[in-house]
């Protein structure tokens, strides 16, 4: 269930708000925000006494609850630590809202009123603050409940809505947050589903259902027979070993002027990756259901753009396949003929994402002649080694496009870091048996994967996002994050003006 959000007038006095829980902030060294100071005064020093006793530290993200403080209309006051005021920034602002939402989720409350959205964040306006606060709250409140695990009936009320105290100028930010949250949840649900449910045909069905339910959206699906006739030799090779046949999914949204070229997203949709004949180690293979995180991300961004009714034309293309070992699987040393006509020597069947993407990128360019193409893919473990779990890897030969995407990432805190895509690296992809090899050796693995894709995007304004480190949280209970939905949607918003 998506959280419900609303605004409360900035002139509201916190001590008079009747709510199951009021949320205020305290900086380190006992410095109270104006809202916390009002509550403290009305309650005859209830907050300051806990600061002096050490029960409220002000450490960033820490929380403490005051129950039924005298002189305050709220039944509870959640006090959230903000850290040092002089270094308070956008990232810290997001963190405290995440922790506030997590703390609210542990309380028996169904609604809350937060005064944290009015905190001063250098360089950020009221709309940004409310949008970021709402998205952080929705992210923290997300629970995966889709299949198989019976959900126990809640023994106490659960958080359903949050109201933010902010100026009326923040309303556009709240509207944007509602749409983006829908897209993020759409992406997270798809990626979290088990691979026996979320296979290529399921992804196609979900795309078609969304198109049927939303005006101005259409869906086109190519099955393996249609792709074979067109020459998708690279994509089809990857899916040959699976009983779940590949699909190419194309969603179109016409929110701009008739005849305007669209923007295009392409997302890697490997719904399960065993590695194929180049079989992955068993430990951790269960996380390979997340290998369609790029597809989930671009579909989620598409959903958000449609819900926001952005005034532009957009296409979202998902090559979907399973990479499985079988008697008909493609092999190391096979030579494939891609849709572009370039031949590819397969040196490792576990470098399959680039093989489905290259055909999808070629088809997207030929079919739509887009203004720009951005692909998102959980492409390489090398990118995780290089950048960890915090930043997505960004590669492009177009400096202006790269700058736009980096700026969108900074605006949303869904950040990316640019890696070089120099021709110097292309030599690593040389093959004695085909036009190009599908891997470039141990060094610069994320970059050579981008170099491979660049060979299929000549003449296109194109960028590649490697989200292998950012698309999901590792571990037995790790969940999909929904990235890079915020980054992609912000980029579209900037294009739509």
The residues carrying an active-site annotation are 280, 354
Tokens of 220: 């086109």
How far is 177 from 5, CA to CA, in rounded Å? 9
CB of 38 within 8 A of CB of 124? no
Rounded to 5, what percent of the chain is helix, strand, coil?
Answer: 40, 20, 40
Tokens of 440: 């470039």
How far is 475 from 464, CA to CA, in rounded Å? 26
462: Cα within 13 Å, side-chain hemisphere: 22
96: Cα within 13 Å, side-chain hemisphere: 32
How far is 337 from 234, CA to CA, in rounded Å? 6
Tokens of 56: 């409220």
C-alpha closest to that of 135 among 157, 103, 164, 155: 164
Query: How many residues can be counted in the chain?
Result: 497
| CA dist 250 → 96, 156, 299, 360, 405 (Å) | 38, 43, 10, 10, 23
CB of 136 within 8 A of CB of 90? no
């Amino acid at each position: 269930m998506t959280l419900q959000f609303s605004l409360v007038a900035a002139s509201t006095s916190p001590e008079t708000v009747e709510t199951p829980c009021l949320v205020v902030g305290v900086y380190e060294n006992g410095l109270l925000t104006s809202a916390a100071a009002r509550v403290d005064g009305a309650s005859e020093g209830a907050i300051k006494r806990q600061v002096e006793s050490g029960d409220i530290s002000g450490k960033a993200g820490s929380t403490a609850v005051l129950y039924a403080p005298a002189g305050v209309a709220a039944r509870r006051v959640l006090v959230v630590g903000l850290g040092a005021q002089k270094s308070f920034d956008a990232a810290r602002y997001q963190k405290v809202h995440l922790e506030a939402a997590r703390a609210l989720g542990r309380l028996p409350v169904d609604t809350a009123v937060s005064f944290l959205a009015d905190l001063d964040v250098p360089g950020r306006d009221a709309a940004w603050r409310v949008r970021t606060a709402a998205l952080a709250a929705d992210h923290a409140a997300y629970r995966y409940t889709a299949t198989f695990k019976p959900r126990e009936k809640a023994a106490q009320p659960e958080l359903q809505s949050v109201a933010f105290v902010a100026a009326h100028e923040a309303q556009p930010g709240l509207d944007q947050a509602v749409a983006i949250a829908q897209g993020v949840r759409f992406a997270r649900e798809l990626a979290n589903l088990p691979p026996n449910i979320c296979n290529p045909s399921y992804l196609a069905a979900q795309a078609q259902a969304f198109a049927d339910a939303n005006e101005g959206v259409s869906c086109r699906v190519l099955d393996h027979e249609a792709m074979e006739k067109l020459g998708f030799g690279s994509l089809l090779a990857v899916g040959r070993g699976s009983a779940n046949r590949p699909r190419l999914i194309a969603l179109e949204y016409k929110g701009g002027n008739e005849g305007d070229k669209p923007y295009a997203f392409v997302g890697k949709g490997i719904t399960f990756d065993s590695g194929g004949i180049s079989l992955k180690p068993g430990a951790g293979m269960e996380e390979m259901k997340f290998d369609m995180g790029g597809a989930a991300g671009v579909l989620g961004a598409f959903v958000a753009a449609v819900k926001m009714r952005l005034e532009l034309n957009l296409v979202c293309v998902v090559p979907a396949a399973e990479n499985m070992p079988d008697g008909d699987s493609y092999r190391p040393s096979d030579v494939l003929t891609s849709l572009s006509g370039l031949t590819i020597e397969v040196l490792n069947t576990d470098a399959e994402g680039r093989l489905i993407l290259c055909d999808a990128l070629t088809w997207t360019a030929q079919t739509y002649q887009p203004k720009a193409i951005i692909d998102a893919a959980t492409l390489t473990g090398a990118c995780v080694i290089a950048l960890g779990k915090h930043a997505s890897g960004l590669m492009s030969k177009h400096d202006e496009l790269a700058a736009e995407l980096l700026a969108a990432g900074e605006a949303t805190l869904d950040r990316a870091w640019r890696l070089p895509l120099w021709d110097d690296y292309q030599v690593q992809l040389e093959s004695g048996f085909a036009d190009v090899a599908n891997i470039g050796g141990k060094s610069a693995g994320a970059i050579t994967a981008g170099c491979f894709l660049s060979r299929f995007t000549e003449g296109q304004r194109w960028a590649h996002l490697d989200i292998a480190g950012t698309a999901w949280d590792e571990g037995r209970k790790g969940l999909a994050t929904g990235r890079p939905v915020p980054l992609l949607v912000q980029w579209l918003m900037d294009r739509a003006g």
